[in-house]
Amino acid sequence: MKKILYQGHGSLRLTADDTVIYIDPYAGEGYDVPADLILVTHQHYDHTAIDKPAKKQGCKIFQNMDAIKDGKYVSFDFNGIHIEPVQAYNKNHPIDECVGYILTFSDGIKVYFAGDTSKTEQMKTFADKKLDYAFLPADGIYNMDIPEAMECADIIKAKTTFPIHIAPGKLFDRERAERFKVNGARIIEPGEETELG
């Protein structure tokens, strides 16, 4: 069974059977479950609290500087999960310092964690990947605003898309999230856990 805990802002905890993965740890609660893997999309302070999660022996930490080597994106496999770094960029986030991640599980489920970004050139290839879930930022301050995030969701065509990183300085903003209206849009609140599959 796979499930995601949204911790708030851009922070998520993914549990897939016995594997626990934190993405951009920083906000909210729920860091007591020991991590097997921590993924960091870029080095802004609100994405890099890698000391916050409890960790299993041998926990792997994979950050944006590991994900881009000599201008190439470095994919890897971890406990049967394929982890593919992808483009993330805008005027506040240089392309060579930021990534998103697409995770593909052994049963074929694919989850896209965009990190901090606006629309990228690579997104137009994502529809072919047949993503099941996408987590997109939509704060309109450091990243794309809601209309552009909706445009990205239409391009990506994930079955379910969650708006997150929607109100810097707060865990979440429900009113803003409710303005994100696309096919498959779904709201997840901080502290809420949802099953994937």
Q: Tell me, what's the pLDDT at 51?
A: 98
Nearest to 22 by CA among 174, 78, 11: 11
Q: Tell me, what's the pLDDT at 197?
A: 85
Q: Tell me, what's the pLDDT at 185?
A: 98
The pair of structure tokens assigned to 38 is 């921590």
- Return the percentage of the chain with pLDDT > 90, whole number: 99
Confidence of residue 126 (pLDDT cuts 50, 70, 90): very high
| pLDDT over 90 (residue 60) | yes
Q: Tell me, what's the pLDDT at 151?
A: 98
Q: What is the pTM of this model?
A: 0.98
| Overall average pLDDT of the 62-75 stretch | 97
Domains of the chain: 2-183 (3.60.15.10)
| Overall average pLDDT of the 149-154 stretch | 98
Tens of pLDDT, residues 155-172: 999 999 999 999 999 999
CA pair distance 88, 97, nearest whole angstrom: 9
CA pair distance 2, 141, nearest whole angstrom: 32
Burial of 14 (0-12, 13-18, 19+ CB in 10 A): buried
- Give me the chain's average pLDDT, please: 97
Q: Are 137 and 116 in contact (CB under 8 A)?
A: yes
Tens of pLDDT, residues 77-94: 999 999 999 999 999 999
| pLDDT over 90 (residue 24) | yes
CA pair distance 149, 6, nearest whole angstrom: 18
| Overall average pLDDT of the 29-48 stretch | 98
